[in-house]
């Protein structure tokens, strides 16, 4: 096993926290690919980072590329040799370039005729040489969310580079990147230990950095932060309010993970919990601490140093937090001078979209869609609540609090509505309106919230699609994928049987003449977009691609029903009988391709096997219809699976394409009828079958 070890450290000015993890993952994989392409396969590639360093360690690298024999093609034989068969200058030149004598040239046949050729042995290059080519191109090739230029116009890269350590087996891998040459020196923490020093290999790199106030490993920094913060909270008999994302950020903005603990005035605990948490998180990157569900007047954040010898770091952070919370209190008190319903009256000054009008108009449409939904779902008792909630839904967009903390939209409205004495279903509807925003979110708690969440999203989707502004590639400025995803999830998880096409058509009507596309065009664009979201969502739930396609092919209008069909399909997936029927269904589809409808007559049944099939198929049809009506899709597929034997026998004993036209037509008619029965729950032909799993003879 080769032992070659590469250490790469790119030291630069502070890289934004959000870009570090994707960058190091990309670097790992592009180096792995690059080495693999050169037959240099390492045993391990490990990347990590600090805000000022990208670090890559590659272990188990061979010292050289393997030697290769490669065939080089030269000039055409007719050009390479004269009439006497002697090599021409063209042949001699080719031989010289390949480093062989002209006598070594061979003639070979190619697609384009006869050519001269020679097999050249090339010695594998040293790994250092390969790396000096591979490393700079991988580094330059990294994709960053935002790049910059500096100095005389150097770049583009994420931030200016200050030093590169590239060592393979203690030897410097020579290359240059943006004017910086590789070497074996780096430096420690820029404020606490700025002197440069030499490194030999990974082992001394890590320990020397530690002595110089840098923990190079991201995971180590995060774990230390988490442990230390949890200890601090426990010392107060409390616990940290979990925020994984923020903890990751904190570990990405320091080279040494020091915890700052600060306190704030207890009077701020009167502010809503969500507001306190958001203010500390968004402005100060600070976590909060709670005891039995109540926040303590304490915050925890990070400093890029191990200690706070004079308490100045704590004092400074407390000073800023105090000012920030005073701001939050100011916004809260300004907002609470009036009820939320009054704030909603200012929505006519807030533009939803220039061509689609104001948020006041959007609210009016949401109200009508919510009423329509209550009717469709038979939720008459929710109609009153939905009316009130729809009117309040967007009101918090005019509040000072949401202008300051956009991440709290919806939540602030919900809190204010609750304070104003709204019913639980109503304030929860406002509070939950943007849920689910991510896969880990729940759907709205109340039925009123479900209705409002659907109405808001379908209105946005129809409006923006109606302007022809559907998302393309990674561009989705209106967040339509998230809106559609949320919509589909609410409908599926709440188990609502509503036809989304019909709902969308309703939403189109409410826009009057504002849309630039016709209603049919909007629906035509929106349908595949929503189907894609359904595919994605069912995929996340563990269903396989072909199962989803098979179920989707039968119907999309009723999503919970679709979900039940996919689930049934998934559960029958490995059943031998079922798979045999799938194969038979594909065979039937092939036979019936382009066949016109035929008439069936029982009198024309001749063979025993086809009579048996007909009897069985009538029974199957009855069973399937009953199971369908009951929504018992697994039973339905079970019956279909039990149909395998009789189908198999039919195909073994009966020739469908009989010479007799009547018999042939009759058999086709029977198969057409069977095909309809088989495809009621899912289009079986979409199911991919691994033939190895299917019993012989199917």
Footprint on this chain of another protein (rule: CB under 8 A): 13-14, 16-18, 51, 146-153, 160, 162, 190-192, 194, 253-254, 258, 260, 284, 301, 303-305, 308-310, 312-313, 315-317, 319-323, 326-327, 349-351, 354
What is the nearest approach in angstroms of another protein to the Cβ of residue 114? 55
What is the nearest approach in angstroms of another protein to the Cβ of residue 151? 5
Cα separations in angstroms, 58 against 42, 46, 188, 202, 634: 7, 6, 22, 10, 51
Q: What is the 3-state secondary structure (H, E, C) of 42-92?
A: CCEEEEEEECCEEEEEEEEECCECCCEEEEEEEEEHHHHECCCCCECHHHH
Nearer to another protein, 11 or 683 (CB): 11
Nearer to another protein, 271 or 562 (CB): 271
Nearer to another protein, 13 or 645 (CB): 13
Cα separation of 186 and 1, whole Å? Answer: 30
What is the nearest approach in angstroms of another protein to the Cβ of residue 334? 13
Question: What's 604's DSSP letter?
Answer: G
10 neighbors 158 (Cβ within 8 angstroms):
no
648 neighbors 697 (Cβ within 8 angstroms):
yes
- Other CB atoms within 10 Å distance of the CB of residue 302: 25
The crossing angle, in degrees rounded to 10, of helices 447-466 and 383-392 is 50
What is the nearest approach in angstroms of another protein to the Cβ of residue 73? 45
Q: Where are the alpha helices (DSSP H) in 378-497?
A: 383-392, 400-404, 411-419, 424-431, 447-466, 480-493
What is the nearest approach in angstroms of another protein to the Cβ of residue 161? 10
Nearer to another protein, 305 or 418 (CB): 305
Tokens encoding 374: 């209550």
What is the nearest approach in angstroms of another protein to the Cβ of residue 10? 15
- What burial letters (b/e) apply to 59-70, b meaning 16+ CB within 10 Å? bebbebbeeeee
Nearer to another protein, 66 or 194 (CB): 194
Cα separation of 288 and 63, whole Å? Answer: 52
Nearer to another protein, 60 or 316 (CB): 316
DSSP-assigned letters across all residues of 296-361: EEEEEEEESSS--TTSHHHHHHHHHHHHHHHHHHHHHHHHTTS-HHHHHGGGGGSEEETTTEEHHH
Nearer to another protein, 246 or 566 (CB): 246
Cα separation of 232 and 257, whole Å? Answer: 14
- Cα atoms in the 13 Å half-sphere on the side-chain side of 169: 13
What is the nearest approach in angstroms of another protein to the Cβ of residue 625? 58
What is the nearest approach in angstroms of another protein to the Cβ of residue 482? 23
What is the nearest approach in angstroms of another protein to the Cβ of residue 280? 11
What is the distance in angstroms between the CA of the first residue and the CA of the last residue of the chain?
Answer: 49
283 neighbors 406 (Cβ within 8 angstroms):
no
Cα separation of 353 and 369, whole Å? Answer: 19
What is the nearest approach in angstroms of another protein to the Cβ of residue 142? 16
127 neighbors 63 (Cβ within 8 angstroms):
yes
Nearer to another protein, 321 or 627 (CB): 321
Nearer to another protein, 258 or 563 (CB): 258
Cα separation of 394 and 231, whole Å? Answer: 41
- Other CB atoms within 10 Å distance of the CB of residue 406: 11
Cα separation of 168 and 42, whole Å? Answer: 13
Nearer to another protein, 185 or 351 (CB): 351
Hunting for tokens 């709440």 — which residue is that? 494
Cα separation of 28 and 322, whole Å? Answer: 43
What is the nearest approach in angstroms of another protein to the Cβ of residue 210? 19
What is the nearest approach in angstroms of another protein to the Cβ of residue 246? 13
What is the nearest approach in angstroms of another protein to the Cβ of residue 354? 7
Nearer to another protein, 253 or 620 (CB): 253
Catalogue the long-range contacts made by 516-521 (C-beta closer than 8 Å, 24 or more residues apart): 516/355, 516/466, 516/467, 516/468, 517/465, 517/466, 517/467, 517/468
What is the nearest approach in angstroms of another protein to the Cβ of residue 300? 12
Nearer to another protein, 350 or 669 (CB): 350
Nearer to another protein, 58 or 253 (CB): 253
- Is-cis flag, bond preceding 436, omega within 30? yes
Nearer to another protein, 20 or 27 (CB): 20
């Amino acid at each position: 096993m080769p032992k070659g070890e590469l250490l790469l450290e790119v030291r630069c000015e502070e890289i934004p926290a959000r870009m570090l993890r994707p960058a190091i993952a990309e670097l790992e994989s592009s180096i792995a690919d690059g080495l693999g392409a050169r037959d240099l396969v390492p045993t391990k590639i490990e990347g990590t980072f600090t805000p000022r360093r990208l670090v890559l360690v590659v272990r188990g690298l061979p010292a050289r590329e393997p030697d290769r024999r490669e065939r080089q093609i030269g000039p055409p034989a007719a050009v390479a040799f004269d009439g006497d068969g002697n090599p021409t200058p063209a042949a001699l030149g080719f031989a010289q370039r390949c480093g062989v004598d002209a006598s070594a040239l061979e003639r070979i046949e190619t697609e384009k005729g006869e050519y001269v050729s020679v097999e050249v042995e090339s010695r594998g290059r040293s790994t250092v040489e390969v790396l000096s080519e591979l490393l700079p191109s991988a580094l330059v090739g990294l994709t960053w969310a935002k790049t910059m230029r500096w100095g005389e116009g150097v770049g583009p890269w994420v931030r200016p580079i200050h030093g590169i350590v590239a060592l393979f087996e203690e030897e410097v891998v020579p290359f240059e990147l943006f004017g910086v040459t590789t070497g074996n020196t780096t430096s420690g923490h820029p404020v606490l230990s700025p002197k440069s020093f030499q490194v030999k290999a990974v082992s001394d790199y890590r320990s020397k950095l530690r002595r110089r106030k840098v923990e190079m490993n991201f995971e180590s920094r995060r774990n230390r932060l988490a442990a230390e913060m949890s200890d601090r909270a426990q010392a107060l008999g409390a616990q940290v309010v979990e925020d994984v994302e923020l903890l990751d950020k904190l570990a990405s903005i320091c080279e040494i993970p020091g915890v700052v603990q600060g306190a704030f005035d207890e009077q701020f605990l009167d502010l809503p919990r969500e507001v306190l948490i958001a203010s500390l998180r968004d402005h100060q990157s600070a976590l909060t601490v709670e005891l039995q569900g109540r926040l303590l007047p304490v915050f925890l954040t990070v400093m890029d140093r191990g200690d706070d010898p004079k308490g100045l770091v704590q004092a400074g952070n407390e000073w800023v937090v105090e000012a920030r919370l005073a701001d939050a209190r100011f916004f809260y008190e300004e907002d609470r001078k009036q009820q939320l319903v009054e704030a909603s009256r200012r929505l006519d000054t807030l533009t939803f979209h220039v061509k689609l009008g104001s948020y006041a108009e959007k609210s009016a449409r949401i109200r009508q869609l919510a009423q329509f939904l209550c009717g469709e779902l038979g939720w008459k008792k929710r109609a009153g609540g939905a009316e009130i909630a729809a009117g309040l839904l967007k009101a918090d967009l005019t509040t000072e609090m949401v202008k300051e903390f956009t991440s709290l939209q919806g939540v602030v409205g919900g809190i204010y509505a609750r304070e104003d004495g709204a019913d639980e279903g109503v304030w929860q509807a406002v509070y939950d309106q943007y849920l689910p925003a991510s896969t880990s979110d729940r759907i709205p708690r109340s039925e009123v919230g479900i209705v409002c969440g659907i109405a808001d999203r379908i209105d946005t989707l129809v409006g923006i699609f109606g302007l022809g502004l559907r998302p393309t590639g990674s561009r989705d400025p209106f967040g339509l994928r998230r809106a559609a995803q949320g919509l589909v999830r609410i409908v599926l998880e709440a188990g609502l049987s509503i036809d989304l096409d019909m709902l969308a058509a309703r939403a189109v009507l409410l826009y009057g003449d504002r849309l630039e596309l016709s209603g049919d065009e909007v629906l035509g664009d929106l349908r595949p977009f929503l189907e894609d979201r359904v595919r994605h969502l069912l995929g996340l739930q563990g269903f396989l691609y072909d199962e989803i396609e098979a179920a989707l092919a039968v119907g999309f209008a009723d999503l919970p029903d679709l979900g039940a069909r996919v689930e049934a399909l998934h559960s029958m997936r490995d059943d031998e009988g079922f798979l045999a029927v799938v194969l038979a269904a594909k065979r039937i589809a092939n036979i019936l391709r382009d066949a016109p409808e035929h008439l069936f007559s029982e009198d024309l049944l001749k063979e025993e096997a086809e009579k048996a099939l007909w009897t069985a198929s009538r029974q199957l049809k009855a069973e399937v219809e009953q199971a369908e009506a009951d929504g018992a899709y697994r039973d339905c597929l079970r019956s279909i699976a039990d149909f395998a034997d009789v189908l198999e026998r039919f195909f073994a004993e009966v020739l469908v394409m009989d010479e007799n036209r009547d018999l042939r037509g009759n058999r086709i008619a029977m198969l057409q009828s069977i095909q309809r029965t088989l495809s009621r729950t899912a289009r079986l032909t979409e199911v991919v079958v691994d033939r190895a799993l299917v019993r012989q003879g199917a």
